[in-house]
Amino acid sequence: MPVRRLIVLAILTVLACVLFLTWGARGDMGFVLQFRGGKLLSLLTVAAAIALSTMLFQTVTGNRILTPSIMGFDALFLLIQTALVWTLGGSRFAGLDPMWKFAAESLVMMAAALALFGTLLGRGRTDLNRMILTGVVLGIGLRSLTALLQRLIDPNEFAVVQSASFARFNRLEQDGLLAALCIVGLCALAVWRMRETLDVVELGRERSIGLGVDHDRIVIKILLIVAALVSVSTALAGPAVFVGLLVVSLTRAILPSHRHAILLPCATLIAALLLVLGQTLFERVLSMQSTLSVAIEFLGGLVFLFLIMRSRRS
């Protein structure tokens, strides 16, 4: 049953991709496919990064409302980027080899995430209120720090930073696409190899230790993977706070399963379907009159409010 739904989802996703590549294509097909293909690949990479990072984060926090973005992970990434521009200068920043820049940023991001969130997730997971509060405060702190740095740099360099600070599915960065693909691929492989262990981790710290899972080490590992994935999605598409939540909530509604072997591919497919279909719609039907990120963030925000209301009632 879950497998059949997974197959249907996969077929729908492939159809959406074909639609995205061919709808309204005129002129030299080779050029169109190359142009749109790059864009499609970035969309899919972002979709996988968002879906996997959110699902993993919820597993490790044992919580259905929190996402890495709500906890300020992407704010952390923006701070790192701004700090880079601030220290290197805009032109040298833009001149960096995208591959190396990306790898370095991801590494710094992973170290910083571990330092900031490592202790919080280990001990604080039972106290949801404290986690949300800390996350929100941390997010505000990181964003304010970013704003301060942006004020300190000169206007030209600010333009470089600014283009990275908004969610944008219309013009995804394609410079670091190869690096991004590698990172997401490696993360997905690592996650897939511990899919059964993740089922146990979801039972909580004490139960998973009782079942022979080295919980503290797994939490650190997942945190590192989440940080790497968030740096990919933020670098390619900018910060998007509620997309992940929308995707994961849809996944849990469509496929009520506890097995990560089902949940993870399902979430990835739903994210891909949502982004590719949405982008096709906004580009071809609404002819860029509106932005996909706004629509998705609006929906995701509603889901967030709904989840909060529901958890208050129960």
60 is a site residue for other proteins (CB under 8 A): no
211 is a site residue for other proteins (CB under 8 A): yes
213 is a site residue for other proteins (CB under 8 A): yes
130, 171, 258, 310: which one contacts other proteins (CB under 8 A)?
A: 258
Compare residues 126 and 156 and give the one whose CB is closer to other proteins.
126
**CA-to-CA separations, 48 to 22, 123, 183, 311, in angstroms, rounded:** 22, 29, 11, 27
d(CA 114, CA 129): 21
Minimum CB separation of residue 141 from other proteins in Å reads 28
285 is a site residue for other proteins (CB under 8 A): no
Minimum CB separation of residue 132 from other proteins in Å reads 16
> What residues have CB less than 8 Å from 190, skipping those under 6 apart?
221, 225
1, 154, 206, 287: which one contacts other proteins (CB under 8 A)?
A: 206
Q: Nearest-CA neighbor of 209 among 132, 131, 122, 127? A: 122
CA atoms within 13 A on the CB side of 132: 10
256 is a site residue for other proteins (CB under 8 A): yes
310 is a site residue for other proteins (CB under 8 A): no
311 is a site residue for other proteins (CB under 8 A): no
197 is a site residue for other proteins (CB under 8 A): yes
Minimum CB separation of residue 128 from other proteins in Å reads 11
265 is a site residue for other proteins (CB under 8 A): no
202 is a site residue for other proteins (CB under 8 A): yes
Q: Backbone dihedral region of 96: left (phi > 0), alpha (psi from -120 to 50 degrees) or beta?
A: beta
Angle at which helices 98-124 and 215-237 pack, to 10 degrees? 140
130, 196, 286, 306: which one contacts other proteins (CB under 8 A)?
A: 196
212 is a site residue for other proteins (CB under 8 A): yes
d(CA 23, CA 29): 11
DSSP state of 242: S
Q: Nearest-CA neighbor of 67 among 206, 251, 214? A: 251
Minimum CB separation of residue 213 from other proteins in Å reads 7
**CA-to-CA separations, 16 to 270, 271, 272, 282, in angstroms, rounded:** 11, 12, 9, 13
62 is a site residue for other proteins (CB under 8 A): yes
d(CA 215, CA 110): 19
Compare residues 33 and 203 and give the one whose CB is closer to other proteins.
203
Compare residues 28 and 196 and give the one whose CB is closer to other proteins.
196
The stretch near other proteins (CB under 8 A) out of 104-112, 148-156, 192-200, 298-306 is 192-200
Residue 311: both structure tokens together? 């958890």
Minimum CB separation of residue 185 from other proteins in Å reads 22
308 is a site residue for other proteins (CB under 8 A): no
Minimum CB separation of residue 50 from other proteins in Å reads 22
Phi, psi of 148, deg, nearest 5: -60, -45
Residues in 98-127 at the binding interface with other proteins, rule: CB under 8 A:
126
Q: Nearest-CA neighbor of 124 among 203, 201, 62? A: 62
Q: Nearest-CA neighbor of 116 among 127, 126, 108? A: 108
5 is a site residue for other proteins (CB under 8 A): no
Interface residues with other proteins (CB under 8 A) are: 62, 126, 195-197, 199-200, 202-207, 209-214, 256, 258
